Structure 1
Amino acid sequence: MTSEVKSLTFHVSAKTDFKGFLETENGKTLMDKWNQAYKISRFIFWGSVGLVIALILFYWFTEGFFSGLLMGFLFGAIAFAVNWIVDKYVAHHQNKYYDTRWDYGIKTAEALSRVLGTSYYSFYVGEIFFYSGQMSALLGVESGKVMVYQKENIKEVTLEHRHLGSTSNSTSTSKHSGSATAWTNSYATYSGKTKTKTTTHTVEHYQWCLDIYSNIVEFPKFSLVFRDNEEDIAKQIYAVVKP
């Protein structure tokens, strides 16, 4: 069984000129910058929280409670603005990492699909699925590791339209009927009826889950998750890989 399992996994560099994204200098650099930005953001966040609390207490004891409260609102607003800017800075590095990983993954997938003789589908989470009537494979873009199921390894394939839950929001409209009387001293009276109509709009959330089960004990299955609007590609892959 051990030799069989080894034959079902390989590193992408064994069959292409590519390697795992985090094994490249660009991948390492982008990840380091993202991590550094995140650490800076945490330092600024907790530092600003501590500073605001210290300033509130200082003004409270020296100028009084209301002065402390007022300065707390002021410094709190400043701290919020600073942290908002820092969060944008972190998001910039995060998105740059993800976008660059996506581009690298597509180039890797194109090269590997030619070697394997398969079609492929790329997920933004950093995984690429290769499929044909003879095999299925899953590539982790960051690690470069590829796991392969040959046709004879696949026992069952299931596709489920899974319900995730629902969200609701309500809107109310009011309709008035009656009469009003007003005087010049700005005193006013109103008599009549008010009818309020409340409309609730509920949105159901779904995703498509494709599970591929194998006869390999060490790798019993891998799962693919598609958004609800990716029904066509989910069903296409299901039709190709099912035994």
Structure 2
Amino acid sequence: MSTSVQVPKFPAKFSLKPTFNITTFSETQFVMDAANAAFKAEQNSKYGVYAKYSIMALLFLIGFFSNGGFFLGLLLAIIAFVVLTGVTTFLNYLRKKAYDKMNQAQWDHTLDTAYKVSEVINGKGYGFGDWTFFCYNSNGCVYGDMKQGDICGLSKENIKEVMIEHVHLGSTSVGKSESKTKGSISGSSIHWGNGFSTNSGSYKGKTVTTSIENTTNHYEWRLDILSNFMEYPKISLLFADDKEGEAAAKSIYAVLKPYINCYK
């Protein structure tokens, strides 16, 4: 980070590059290289599907109009389907790998930006999965969008309320049932074998079914920052329901929440 970068005056809405000398995704070479590779992999995957069915149709027609007729055409089409399915599966694998690399490049650049901005304002920073970042200190905060390159800066005086909530997203259940038969047999002769049974007495019993269900509840930490800045009246942040997410949300809440003087 260049030492010439100065902390801008808040509140303000400004652009990422001229203010902090940091590029957006479209201006960052390694991110664009990964994005272009993902685009090419996507195109190759689509072309592979088109080629697959075109070759199948062509081979079917060749076989159909030859001496082999319909069955030869069908056989050739099936062979082409089996072989080319392997090719398209491999192309889909390459597409997934390319998109994973692109997402990783965008994530790395988002985290790097959060770190650099937090250094400028002498605070802490976090990156988020929607390619936004948030940095803060005791004097205010900065919220930015890596795709658009827009940044909002708020001073502590602009922040009118900070709300934190542990939100229940829903639950998932996994169940299992087990059945057991309990009973008794009375009589003088019982035989089991060869798929049948004989009993000169009587059999009494019942089947007991036990159901076991495990339910998992899903939560997230949600932080809302309300301000009197017209450009960004509300900033919403989502954190994972783990120790790190909880600590981050509560730390931001504690630092930025406005002080209310009850004796004023």
- Report the TM-score when normalising by structure 2: 0.73
Structure 2: which amino acid aligns with 1:231? Answer: E
Alpha-carbon distance in 2 for matches of 1:236, 1:6: 21
**Unaligned stretches of 5+ residues in structure 2:** 1-8, 259-264
Aligned mates of 2:224, 2:211 — CA distance in 1: 42
Q: For 1:152 and 1:30, locate their aligned partners in 2 and report how far apart those are by CA, in whole Å.
A: 41
| Cα distance in 1 for residues equivalent to 2:45 and 2:11 | 44
Matched ranges for 1:161-176 at <5 A: 161-176=166-181
In structure 2, the residue corresponding to 1:33 is in which secondary structure?
Answer: helix
Aligned to 2:109: 104
Alignment match, 1:62: 70
Q: Does 1:14 align with 2:18?
A: yes
Task: Select which of 220, 223, 228 maps to 2:233.
Answer: 220
Check the 8 A contact 2:13/2:231 in 1, yes or no.
no
Give CA deviations for 1:12-32 in whole Å, capped at 9, x if unaligned: 323434211321222222111
**2:28 corresponds to:** 24
Mapped to 2, the partners of 1:168 and 1:225 lie a distance apart of 24
- Asked if structure 2 preserves the Cα contact closer than 8 Å seen for 1:11 and 1:19, the reply is no
**CA–CA distance in 2 between the matches of 1:48 and 1:106?**
41
Does the CA-based 8 Å contact 1:105-1:141 persist in structure 2? yes
Match of 2:253 in 1: 238
Aligned pair count reads: 232
In structure 1, what is the equivalent of residue 196 of structure 2?
188
- Is 1:198 matched with 2:203? no
1:130 alignment counterpart: 135
1:11 touches 1:146 (CA, 8 Å); kept in 2?
A: yes
Distance 1:172 1:51 in 2: 49
- Kindly tell me: are residues 45 and 208 of structure 1, through their superposed partners in 2, closer, same or farther at Cα, counting changes over 3 Å? farther
Deviates more, 1:121-130 or 1:170-179: 170-179
Q: 1:53 to 1:157 in 2, by over 3 A?
A: farther
Instruction: Output one character per residue of 1:191-241: Cα deviation in whole Å (capped at 9) or x when no partner.
Output: 643322111111111111111112123322121111111222111111112
Partners in 2 of 1:240 and 1:49 — Cα distance? 60
Closer, same or farther in 2 for the Cα pair 1:145/1:168, shift >3 Å?
A: same
Question: Equivalents in 2 of 1:82, 1:197: separation in Å?
Answer: 47
| Residue of structure 1 in register with 2:43 after alignment | 39
Match of 1:118 in 2: 123
Name the stretch that deviates more: 35-44 or 188-197: 188-197
Distance in 2 separating the partners of 1:142 and 1:119? 21
Between Structure 1 and Structure 2, the one with more helix by share is 1
Structure 1-normalised TM-score?
A: 0.78
What SS does the aligned partner of 1:152 have? Answer: coil
3-state SS, counterpart of residue 107 of structure 1: helix
- 2:223 paired with 1:210: yes
The structure with the largest alpha-carbon Rg is 2
Matched-pair contact (CA < 8 Å) for 1:131–1:237: yes
Q: How far did 1:86 drift?
A: 2.6
Listed one character per residue, the Cα deviations across residues 118-150 of structure 1 (whole Å, up to 9, x for unaligned) are 211122332211011211111223343321112
Q: Secondary structure at 1:130's aligned position in 2?
A: strand
Q: Percent identity?
A: 30
CA distance in 1, matches of 2:81, 2:233: 52
Paired residue type of 2:154? Y
Query: 2:163 matched to 1:150?
Result: no
Give RMSD over aligned pairs. 3.4
Shift of residue 171 of structure 1? 0.6
Contact 1:138 1:148 in 2 (8 A): yes
